Chain A
Amino acid sequence: NAGVMQNPRHLVRRRGQEARLRCSPMKGHSHVYWYRQLPEEGLKFMVYLQKENIIDESGMPKERFSAEFPKEGPSILRIQQVVRGDSAAYFCASSLSLAGTSSYEQYFGPGTRLTVT
């Protein structure tokens, strides 16, 4: 059973370009979460999605950032017009959708390291 897949693992973008980060959850998981980790800091929650729905985006910056989890295909985190401050590791996690279980047991991918030059 493959784990959470993220690609690319490393992404370099110039200021002003767009960054697209992809996440395929574990098989059978329909809940996806995105987190951002700045150097030497803990992870910060960004957004929680289920298939075709954004459930909680309270951690997403108001501008330039968007996320989707279509019916088919991976979840996408999109950053438009990147700036140097967007340089970070972006982690995707997934969890089961069984009612009554906790989302505290999340399975994380290896992350995408975004560098903005």
Chain B
Amino acid sequence: LAKTTQPISMDSYEGQEVNITCSHNNIATNDYITWYQQFPSQGPRFIIQGYKTKVTNEVASLFIPADRKSSTLSLPRVSLSDTAVYYCLVGANTGFQKLVFGTGTRLLVSP
């Protein structure tokens, strides 16, 4: 499983765009990049998954450069309720994969 590196914490204000970058230098050809969000006292929630270029859904966008050695989760116009820990995971997209969570990025959104 490819190891990932993310910032430990980030601070932002309501209404700003937040970009969280994850490094995964050893990503394999068949690996996908997946992001989860975890609120305090709750289980993680799947946010978005991608393989290359850009993926967008109603929650976030995921930008993946051509070399795929990093990825950026973009949260447009954050609100207080986006305060959470965000985890970047990398692994193959078929069959059983045990999710390996690092310590994630703790995002704090202030008024």
- The answer to whether A and B belong to the same complex is yes
Interface: B55 (CB within 8 A): no
**Which of B58-66, B74-82, B84-92 faces chain A?**
B84-92
- Tell me if A111 counts as interface (CB < 8 A to partner B): yes
In the complex, are the beta carbons of B100 and A103 less than 8 A apart? no
User: When chains A and B are docked, how far (Å) is the Cα of A43 from the Cα of B45?
Assistant: 13
Are the C-beta atoms of A104 and B87 separated by less than 8 Å?
no
Partner of B95, one of A41, A103, A107: A103
**In the bound complex, what is the Cα–Cα distance between A48 and B99 (angstroms)?**
11
- Known A-B contacts A104-B89, A104-B91; the reply to A110 vs B97 at CB < 8 A is no
Q: For this complex, into which size category does the number of interface residues on chain B fall?
A: 20 to 34
**Size class of the contact patch on chain A:** 20 to 34
Cβ-neighbour of A102 out of B32, B41, B100, B104 (below 8 A): B32
- Can you spell out 12 A-B residue pairs with CB atoms less than 8 angstroms apart? A35-B99, A48-B96, A48-B98, A91-B44, A102-B93, A103-B99, A104-B34, A104-B46, A104-B99, A108-B45, A109-B43, A110-B43
By Cβ-Cβ distance, the 6 closest A-B pairs, closest first, are A108-B43, A42-B101, A102-B93, A45-B98, A43-B101, A91-B43
